[in-house]
Structure 1
Amino acid sequence: MTAWTLNDIERAIRSSWGVDTCAPEDLAHWRPDNPARGQCGVTAMVVHDLLGGELMMGEVHVDGVRTDLHWWNRFATGVEIDLTREQFGPDELVGPGRPVARPARPGRLQAQYELLRHRVVTELERGAAANRIRRPARVA
């Protein structure tokens, strides 16, 4: 198995987002200049697939009213990684997170999750193959 860095994974995820991997409730707000919009659930699950840890969930509030839920990752060291935090505007506040059990299936986001996971793994494998080609062979 190839050991990818968090930078490799982040780059592959960010290049794999699209309107077709966006959560249905966020489609009206997804834009190419804010590609992280609606990607948190599927992104957190793909990061979990690749790096393990815990899934975290917090409530999103606008003017004190809960408008959504937000997902990210926390690792055994306590470090939290949120690759989609920039999707929120200044009026959207994400509350404290709590660890949640990973659902057995992504449910309503199954198609978006599978598409994002496929794109990310393909991108990571493409990058690993390119690195093998660029590396000079060792002379014994």
Structure 2
Amino acid sequence: MKTWTLAEIERAVRRSWGADTCAPEDRPAWHPGNPARGQCGVTALVLNDLLGGDLVRGEVHADGRRTDFHWWNRLAGVEIDLTREQFTAGEVVVPATVVARQPKLKRLVTEYELLRGRVHRALREA
């Protein structure tokens, strides 16, 4: 079985994002100029599928209040956040905690499956 570099995986992930893989609550803010918007949860899960490691979650704050959660990965102690550029001025991610992956997704199932399939296809074609 072929192994991919993190750079190859990142390229495949970024090419695979779309409005249909974005979290529904972020779709109004999603656009091709900010394709990472709303992709953090599904991206972190796909990266976890491919590389293992920890899922990390932090709160997103704007104007002093929590507005959302942000997800990324920790691999061998290194933070990997492929969607870090999604935030607008005034949005701040506060320190995070490691979160156990649930055996069954409760939300974003369709978005996750779409992204996972696209990333796997892109990696096979790489």
Task: Give the TM interval when normalised to the shorter protein.
Answer: over 0.9
Q: Which residue of 1 aligns with 2:82?
A: 83
Larger RCO: 1 or 2 (CA < 8 Å, sep 6+): 2
Count of matched residue positions in the alignment of Structure 1 and Structure 2: 126
Q: 2:73 & 2:107 partners in 1: Cα distance?
A: 20
Q: Which residue of 1 aligns with 2:55?
A: 55
Name stretches of at least 5 consecutive residues in structure 1 with no aligned partner: 128-140
Name the % identity: 64
Q: Which residue of 2 aligns with 1:46?
A: 46
Name stretches of at least 5 consecutive residues in structure 2 with no aligned partner: none
SS in 2 for 1:68: strand
Which stretch has the larger CA shift, 30-39 or 104-113? Answer: 104-113
Bigger share in strand? 2
CA RMSD, Structure 1 to Structure 2 (Å): 0.6
TM-score (norm 2): 0.98
Equivalent residue letter for 2:89: P
TM-score (norm 1): 0.88
Larger Rg: 1
SS in 1 for 2:67: strand
Q: Which residue of 1 aligns with 2:107?
A: 108
SS in 1 for 2:42: helix
